[in-house]
Amino acid sequence: MARSFKSVFSFFSESWAELKKVRWPNRKELTNYTLIVIGTILFVGIYFWVLDIGISAVIEAII
């Protein structure tokens, strides 16, 4: 049982050491990345919405 606690503590200490190596984005980069993600989501959402309307129109024309 002591061995499992040792491995858990080892895991967390190694994870913490890796997190210290991460280069976190600054505010400007984070804002830019957020805007890119939101823009991409909007673009893909509108694309599938138009595609859905087109497919629905074709199916309605067939029926």
Domain ranges in the chain?
23-63
What DSSP designation does 5 have?
Answer: H
- The answer to whether residue 30 scores a pLDDT higher than 80 is yes
Nearest residue to 25 via CA among 16, 34, 17 = 34
pLDDT bin (cut points 50, 70, 90) of residue 36 is very high
CB 33 within 8 A of CB 25: yes
Q: What is the mean pLDDT of the chain?
A: 93
Question: Which one has a higher pLDDT value, 55 or 8?
Answer: 55
Cα 53 → chain centroid: 27
